[in-house]
Structure 1
Amino acid sequence: MFRMRVARRALVADGVLELVLLPVDGERVPEWTPGAHVGLTLGEGLVRHYSLCGEPTDDHFRLAILREPESRGGSVFVHDSLAEGDVLTVEAPRNHFPLVPDAPEYVFVAGGIGVTPLLPMIEEVERVGATWRLEYGGRTRASMAYHEELTTRYPSRVRVHPQDEVGLMPLAEILADRDRGVAVYCCGPGPLIEAVEKECGAQGIGDLHFERFSAQAPVALDTDCEFEVVLAVSGQTVPVPVGCTILEAVEKAGVPADSSCRDGTCGTCEVGVLEGRPDHRDFILTDAEKETGDTMLICISRSCSDRLVLDL
């Protein structure tokens, strides 16, 4: 954790507020890589995670935050209560959406505020001279943050698709005839991600990376069973009944555990798995990471075995 001051706030699109945060007390900006996000403590202990959309070489953090119609408190606080000069507690950057190096081509697909983690990726691939394109969709032009900046700087590489003007993005056209080594990066609403997943499958594109800002519908729990977790640090055994998450069970047992979103989208609660087979239900870990089973997110995932031993 470290402290940062709100140096500037400005609307950059309808409902989208840009924040520039500067470190205080002589602290340095922590290192980060394209795709990273940070957690902000807002109000009375409310922690929310937002993508970094500046450049890793900046001496500040830049964030763009959408005022969510169904906000759980975070975006409303940022838009209505956070003022220039306020000091926030900020979690160190985490990156569960890293940019793979040396792809023959990068295709970025953004929906609305999902453009934010893609901006530093675009700067990086442009810096190294890679081939790339951005397909950027939104409800209206006025709601699409940074679209003028992007189309002005990269007129031949960026296409915008305001839904009220042209309808939905033509994903079949966007992803057709791509080289097998193309890396597709997608961030935006759940329906867009699911449509890109489906189209990549149809086109035989296997190198797909995506990040969700909110969880999908909860996983059905009618087949869940009770299991137990052993906390390797203390040796304590904690039962996890049906209808209770590992995180909730551990907290009830009086054991502190890092957490934030509690819906499998931020990665704060990730812990090591020493024994047992997790039932992964998060939206962070890759298929390969889930198959290995070395870590899990205890806010939402359960167990396929009767017993898990966690590095906790």
Structure 2
Amino acid sequence: MHAITIPEPGGPDALVWAEVPDPVPAEGEVLVEVAATAVNRADLLQRQGFYDPPPGASPYPGLECSGRVAALGPGVSGWSVGDEVCALLAGGGYAGKVAVPAGQLLPVPKGVGLVEAAALPEVVCTVWSNVFMIAHLRPGETLLVHGGSSGIGTMAIQLAKAVGAKVAVTAGSEDKLAKCRELGADLGINYREQDFTAEVRKAFGGADVILDIMGAKYLGRNVEALAVNGRLAVIGLQGGVKGELDLGRMLAKRAAITATSLRGRPLEEKAAIVAAVREHVWPLVESGAVRPVVDRTLPVREAPEAHRLVEASTHVGKVLLTL
């Protein structure tokens, strides 16, 4: 098969389309012939040499895909060759085929195209696990989403609204904020011109849950933006890894902070998240209450250009690559 490889870390042109050995599904794995994959910021970090795949994972980038089942490994049941699926991956989406643990496989939701389905697994699993399984966002509460126009952000807006929460978002332009409002955001904050802490406190008295991609840069302001009993879920470190935490403010607010990643989790934890997504989120997708947001689709050979687009942050939603 062919795959996007990274012979040497570097800029977008470090991504090289090359012939590589076909994967073979091991015990409990399914071989998927890939139709499409999506570009995530983790792929950019891997390309730069900062985020190696977990031990045993595919060396090629790509944390999600859609496609058709090509073969079943030993011990797999419940799936058949030819099934249309999408999958959460530890790597290998930028390739013709990928071996996937069966617990990380999902059927393509009714009403969603096979290519479009590649936009779902990583963002849905990330949002559902952090905002709902860990932070327990409830109807009537307020969610603040940083990077509201991103793939994660556009999904978080829709899922929060679907369960009856209020949503505030930050983004860097009025065009992006307008698109967030179209998806249901109640409050849009231009982080280049406004203080998100003040705006959220003025509008809602604080955020019950904050989904944060910035890390250290926003830590202090996030704590200030939390309501009493608020929960801060950190899923990205674009603003640095080390920050100063005011424990006094945390105590006064009875607040909690969690920080998680998805890629390196044990298989059983990923399978539990995927099962919860299939139970709780797939009905919302199939009803049309939640939909994947795709900015554009490019051929996989244009992966360097797709990485440039994501690095420039001009997109809204997901950038997909087709095979």
Q: TM exceeds 0.5?
A: no
TM-score scaled by structure 1? 0.39
Q: Greater relative contact order: 1 or 2 (C-alpha under 8 angstroms, separation 6 or more)? A: 2
TM-score scaled by structure 2? 0.38
Q: Which has the larger radius of gyration?
A: 1
Higher relative strand content: 1
